[in-house]
A and B are shown apart, each in its own frame.
Chain A
Amino acid sequence: MTNEPIIEARGLTKRFTVKKKTVEAVTDLTFQVARGELVAFLGPNGAGKSTSLRMLTTLIPPTSGTARVVGYDILRAPSDVRARIGYVGQLTSGSFSQRVRDELLSQGAFYGMSASAARTRADELIASLDLAPFATRSVQQLSGGQKRRLDIALGLMHAPPLIFLDEPSTGLDPQSRANLWQHIMDLRERYGTTVFLTTHYLEEADRYAERVMVMDKGRVIADDTAARLKANLAGDVLTFGFDSAADAERAVAVVATLTDREVRRDDAEVALTAPDGDELLPAAVRALDAAGIRVRRATGVPPTLDDVFLALTGRTLREAGEGEPTEEEETDAAADPTAAHTADAAAAVPAEKTGASR
C-alpha cells in the first residue's frame, strides 16, 4: 500500500467548449507522485494547473484519461477520493458569516469525525496555525493572511494523507507568505502529509518544492527537482570583464577549453551559461591568470526557474502570463472577446475555468 503512488494520473485531458470552439485546457497529463513528496505545479496563469487540480480532486471530470488518487479512481470512486484528500482552493474556504472554530468543527463533522475528535483536532490546528486570537471571530473579520491560514487548517482538519493547495500564497504580502510556508513545512514534517500545490511564484517553487513540474499550455514540459532543472536547462550565467576587446578575444579560447558550452564575446566582455558555474568561475579565473590575461571583473549569476521556463518555452513566465486572463476573470470566458480569436488566450480561459465557484 505504501509503495503505491499516492497520485497516478494517466492521460488526463480536459477540453472545454468556449463559444462553440473546443479548447484543450489540459493535454495528456501522465505522472506519479510518491507518498510524502512535496510537488509544485509551476506555470503561468492559464497553463492548466488549476484544471488539473480540479480533476484530481473530483471537482470536474476529465474529458479522457483518469487518475488514481490515494488508491481510488477519480471517476469510479470519487467519494472515496474525497474522503481521503484535503483541498485548499484559490479563494477563501471559510464562509464569511461563520466563526473560525465553528467552521473547523463543521468541517470535521463533514468528514465523519466525532464531536470530541473534531474539537481536539480543531484546537490543535488553531494552535499550530496561530489562529487562537481570533478563533471566535467571524471569517469576515480576518485579514488575508489569517483567512489563508484558516483555509489551510480546514484542508488539514481530517488529517488527510494528501493535500492539494491551489496557489496557497497568492495575494499575500511577503511576510505572510513566508509565514504560511513555514506552517506548511512544519505541518508536513509533523504529519508526513503529501503536498501537491500550484504556484506561479518562481521563488516559492524553487525554495520549497522538492519536485517541480513545469506546466505550459496544458502540458507538463519538465519534471524534476528545481536544482536539476536549473542545472540541466538553464545553468549559471558567468560574465568576465577585460581591459580590451583583444584580451576578451584571447580569453574566449582559454575559457572554451574548460567547458563544452558556447562562450560568447561582447566587446570587452565574455559570457557563458553553464552548470556548476560556481566551480567553473574560479577555475576560469585561474586559467586566465595563468595565460597572462588580466580579469577585471567576474560575476556568476545562479539561474532561476524563470530561466528554466525561458529555456523550455522561449518566453519568460511573466510574458507567458501577460495578455492571458487572470484566474479571477475566467468565468466570463464566454463573454471575453479575447478568448474568441487568440488561440493562446482561448486555451487559457477554460484552463482555469471554475464554473460555479466564481
Chain B
Amino acid sequence: MSAAQTDIRPDTAVRANPARDTWNVLTRELKPVVRDPFTLIFSLVQPLVFLGLFAPLLVGSSGQPVGETLQWFVPGVLVMIVLFGTGATGSNLQYEMMTGSHERTLVAPLARSSLLVGRALKEIAPIVVQALIIVLIAWPFGFTINVAGLVIGLALLAVFGIGLGSLSYTLALKTKDREWLFWGVQQTLIFPLLILSGMLLPLDEGPAWMQAVATVNPINWVVQAERALFAGDLGAMTVLWGWIAAVALAVVGLLVGIRAMRKSS
C-alpha cells in the first residue's frame, strides 16, 4: 500500500492529554469571538445595565455613600456575569449536539474533561475583559480595588465558572434536543440562586430561613470572597470559604459532566 508516501502523515499516535486538549478546545471556542469581537459588546450591556440602573437605587435605599455601595455591589455584578454566562453555556453545546459537531469531537482523540473545561474557560476569557471595563467605569465613582485581590478574584471566578459551566453542559447533555427543557430548568434554578446569593440585595434584612438557605448556596460564598478580595482583605476566612465552595462546585460539576459526556454518545 502506497498510501503513506503521497502525503504528510502526522503523528497519528496522538494520545489524549487533558491540558493540551483543553487548550485546543478553548482556542477553537474563542475563534468566533476573535473573528467577530462585536459579539462581546452585547455581553457587556447586561452588567452595565445593573451598574447604571440598579446601583443608584441601591445607593438611595441604603443611604450609604456611592463608593461604599459600589465596593459592595461591583464584586456581585462580576459573579453575576459568570452566573449568567456559564449557566447558559450549555445551550451552545446543545446546539452542537443537534448538528454533528459535538459527535465529531467525541470521535477525536480528546480527553473528555477537556470538552467541558475548555468550553467553560471560553466563557471566562471575555469575563476578564468585562471585569476590567466595569472596574474602570466604577473607578471615578469612588470604587477602589486591590490589584492582587482582583487577580485572585478572577482566578476564583474561573474555577467557579468551570464548575457552573460543567453543570450547564451536563444539563444540556441530559436534555438533548429539548431546548425548552434546558431553559426551563436553567431559569428555574438560576434566579433563586441569584437572589439567595446576596449579590443584588443584602440578605441581612431577610427572614431567617432565607439566610439559612443562603449559607448552603455556594454562590453566596463566592460573592463574599470576591468582596473581601476586591477590598484587599486577602487573608479573610470568607476567601477560604469562597475557594472551598468554588473548588467543590468544580469537582462536582466535572465529575457529573464527564460522566454525562461519556454516556452522551
CB of A83 within 8 A of CB of B104, answer no
Measured CA separation A54–B100 after assembly (Å): 13
Bound Cα distance from A357 to B177, whole angstroms = 8
Q: How far does the Cβ of B133 sit from chain A's closest Cβ, in whole Å?
A: 23
CA gap between A121 and B6 in the complex, in Å: 12
Report the separation of the CA atoms of residues A229 and B177 in the bound assembly, to the nearest whole angstrom. 40
4 new A-B contacts at CB < 8 Å, known A83-B15, A85-B107: A90-B100, A102-B31, A111-B109, A161-B12
Interface residues of B in 160-199 (CB under 8 A from A): 173, 176-177
Q: Annotate B87-99 by CB proximity to A: 1 below 8 A, 0 otherwise.
A: 0000000011111
Chain B 251-265 interface 0/1 with A at a Cβ cutoff of 8 Å (1 = within)? 000000000000111
A-B pairs, top 8 by smallest CB distance, nearest first, are: A192-B3, A112-B14, A91-B100, A356-B264, A106-B28, A59-B265, A83-B109, A89-B100
Q: Nearest chain-B residue to A166 (Cβ)?
A: B100
Instruction: Kindly state the separation between the CA atoms of A2 and B110 in the bound complex, as whole angstroms.
Output: 27
Smallest Cβ-Cβ distance to A59: which chain B residue: B265
With an 8 A cutoff between CB atoms, is B140 at the interface?
no
User: Is B105 part of the binding interface, using a Cβ–Cβ cutoff of 8 Å?
Assistant: yes
Does A120 touch B at the CB level, under 8 Å? Answer: yes
CB neighbours (8 Å) of A347 from chain B are none
Q: Is the CB of B9 within 8 A of A159?
A: yes
Interface residues of A in 160-198 (CB under 8 A from B): 160-161, 190-193
Interfacial chain A residues near B3, Cβ < 8 Å: 35-36, 161, 191-193
Asked whether any CB of chain A lies closer than 8 Å to the CB of B68, the reply is no
Q: Among B12, B14, B28, B177, which residue has its beta carbon within 8 angstroms of that of A331?
A: B177
CB pair B107–A59 under 8 Å, yes or no, is yes
Given contacts A60-B265, A99-B31, A192-B2, contact A79 B109 (CB under 8 A): yes
Contact status B99-A83, CB under 8 Å: no
Is B215 in contact with chain A by the CB < 8 A criterion?
Answer: no
Q: How many residues of A contact B (CB 8 A)?
A: 57
**B104-A87 in contact (CB<8A):** yes
Q: Could you list which residues of chain A lie within 8 angstroms of chain B, going by C-beta atoms? A: 2, 35-36, 54, 57-60, 79-80, 82-85, 87, 89-99, 102-103, 106-114, 117, 120-121, 138, 151, 154, 158-161, 190-193, 331, 354-358
**Interface residues of B, count at CB 8 A:** 44
Least CB distance from A308 to B in Å reads 30
In the complex, 15 of the A-B residue pairs with CB atoms within 8 angstroms, ordered by the A residue number, are A59-B106, A59-B265, A83-B14, A84-B12, A89-B100, A98-B28, A106-B28, A107-B108, A111-B10, A111-B108, A192-B1, A192-B2, A331-B177, A357-B265, A358-B176
Q: Which parts of B89-127 form the interface with A (CB within 8 Å)?
A: 95-110
Question: Are A120 and B265 closer than 8 Å at their CB atoms?
Answer: no
Q: A356-B173, A358-B98 are in contact. Are A110 and B1 (CB under 8 A)?
A: no
| Pairwise interchain contact B15-A106, C-beta atoms closer than 8 A | no
Contact flags (1/0) for B14-42 with A, using CB distance below 8 Å?
Answer: 11100001001001100110010000000
* A82 close to B109 (CB less than 8 A): yes
Once the chains are docked, how many angstroms separate the CA of A112 from the CA of B11?
7
- Does A92 contact B100, Cβ atoms closer than 8 Å? yes
Question: Quick check: B96 and A95 within 8 Å, CB to CB?
Answer: yes
User: How far is B108's CA from A120's CA once the two chains are assembled, in angstroms?
Assistant: 20
Whether B13 sits at the interface, judged by CB under 8 Å, is: yes
Docked CA distance A103–B99 (Å): 14
Contact between chains at B27 and A79 (CB < 8 Å): no
Query: Which of the listed residues A99, A114, A191 has the most CB atoms from chain B within 10 Å of its own CB?
Result: A191
Assuming the contacts A54-B265, A89-B100, A95-B101, asked whether A158 and B177 have C-beta atoms less than 8 A apart, the reply is no
| A96–B95 touching, CB < 8 Å | yes
Distance in Å: Cβ of B26 to nearest Cβ of chain A = 10
Question: With the chains together, A97 CA to B176 CA distance in Å?
Answer: 19
CB-defined contacts of A160 to chain B, threshold 8 Å: 12
In the complex, chain A residues whose CB is within 8 Å of the CB of B109: 79, 82-83, 110-112
- Say if the beta carbon of B205 comes within 8 Å of chain A: no
**Smallest distance from the beta carbon of A321 to chain B beta carbons, Å?**
22
Q: Chain A residues near B96 (CB, 8 Å)?
A: 95
B227 CB, nearest partner CB in chain A, Å: 35
* Least CB distance, B101 to chain A, in whole angstroms: 4
Shortest CB distance A101–B (Å): 10
Inside 8 A of A80's CB, which chain B residues have their CB? 13
Which residues of chain B are near A354, meaning CB under 8 Å? Answer: 103, 265
Alpha-carbon separation in the docked complex, A102 to B27 (Å): 10
Q: Does B8 contact A (CB under 8 A)?
A: yes
A117, chain B: closest CB distance, angstroms:
6
- Give the complex CA separation of A54 and B107 in angstroms: 9
Q: Which of A35, A36, A110 contacts B110 (CB 8 A)?
A: A110
- B residues in contact with A59, CB < 8 Å: 103, 106-107, 265
Tell me, in angstroms, the Cα distance from A87 to B106 when the chains sit together. Answer: 10
Tell whether, in the assembled complex, residue B101 and residue A159 are in contact, meaning their CB atoms are under 8 Å apart. no
Given A36-B1, A83-B15, A110-B109 in contact, is the A98-B8 Cβ separation under 8 Å? no
List chain A residues, Cβ under 8 A from B103: 59, 89, 91, 93, 354, 356-357
Residues of A within 8 Å of B102, CB to CB, are: 356-357
Is A191 touching B104 in the complex (CB atoms < 8 A)? no
| Contact A96-B16, Cβ < 8 Å, known A58-B107, A110-B108 | no
